Amino acid sequence: GSILFAEPYAPPSRLVILGGGHIALPLAEFGAKCGFSVTVADDRPMFANRQRFPWADEVVCEGFDRVFEKLNINRSTFVVIVTRGHRHDLDCLRAVLPLETAYVGMIGSKRRVRAAFEQMREEGFPQEAIDRVHAPIGLKIGAKTPEEIAVSILSEVIQCKRCREDGSWPELDEAVLKELCRETDEPRALVTIIGAKGSVPRDPGAKMVVWPDGRILGSIGGGCSESSVISASYDVIKSGGCAVMDVDLTADFDAEEGMVCGGVMQVAIEALI
């Protein structure tokens, strides 16, 4: 028989940070390190520039009542409202509530949030749209410093990204994808998780590139199971073909690292020659 594996590709999820203040600084950095394409917007040139936000892919200096025309918000966009004042919050809410987004969160005290939501209701926005806004923003971890608050916010964003009812975002490793696009005569093997059941460290779509000299890029979860897949990859590189391998993690106990998995993965190994 044959196996058909369809793999969707999409740009990285976008994290749009509205407001370039002290919380936006660590939030942009942490968001970029977690794989988001980060955009920061503020209406003040001193707070919206590349020097201030080296981790951002895009920095936009524009009024909050006009900036959405430049942001291209869509269903893969996570919007975080951390402006410096109530009036700017309202401008952002007016623009974002009618849009389909992956997430909307707004910082502020309970009183400030309550006033903003009441204003939106008075302006005719449906309660369903208002209820989608996470406010006060972030997971309740007792955060105090800008860095802790950024962790709280990003944790909630990741929770919404990974725990969606219609399935999580596919596992995409940008470094691996760039390697696959690189023109080279080096023999390599591409390992892709094509199926998973039970408790596994990585989801379908996770990739790893293996070179015959022992180098690897990416990971399918580490441990003894990954080592066995790497060994099988050497044989595939030599044969120049492909293989499908079932990896049983139910007995994969790493005593030194204290890791136990209880699932099964199916991986495809392809020679890249």
Q: What was the pLDDT predicted at 252?
A: 52
CA 204 to each of CA 34, 167, 217, 236: distance values in angstroms, whole numbers, following the listed order: 18, 12, 17, 21
b (16+ CB within 10 A) / e for 111-139: ebbeebbeebeeeebeeeebeebbbebbb
CA 25 to each of CA 48, 53, 254: distance values in angstroms, whole numbers, following the listed order: 11, 7, 38
Q: What is the CATH number of domain 14-162?
A: 3.40.50.720
Kindly give the parts of the chain with pLDDT less than 70: 1, 165-171, 251-262
Q: What was the pLDDT predicted at 223?
A: 81
Tell me: the pLDDT tens digits for 227-273?
A: 999 999 999 999 999 999 999 877 555 544 444 556 889 999 999 97
pTM over 0.85: no
Q: Among the residues of 198-263, which ranges form H helices? A: 223-239
What DSSP character marks residue 164?
-
Q: What was the pLDDT predicted at 120?
A: 97
Q: What was the pLDDT predicted at 27?
A: 98
Domain with CATH 3.40.50.720 in the chain: 14-162
